[in-house]
Amino acid sequence: MVDNFDFLEKISDNIELMVSNAINERVFPGCVFLVLYFGKTVFHKGFGCFDYSNKS
């Protein structure tokens, strides 16, 4: 992962808040969020679960 982007710290908090709110509101049970910058991964994180069951 590319770590030398000044904006990464700013956007990562916003991404995590946006996705967490959507999961809490049951918009979707989970997701993987990937941000590329000129072909380099700058943010990659999984959130939530595969489905809404307690088993996933």
The tens-digit pLDDT sequence of the chain (56 residues) is 555 567 777 788 899 999 999 999 999 999 999 988 899 888 899 999 999 987 65
Name the amino acid, one letter, at 53: S
Residue (of 53, 40, 54) closest to 4 by Cα position = 40
Number of residues that make up the chain:
56
- Taking the model in full, what pTM does it have? 0.73
How far is residue 9's CA from residue 52's CA, in Å, rounded to a whole number? 30
* Cβ–Cβ < 8 Å for 36, 42: yes
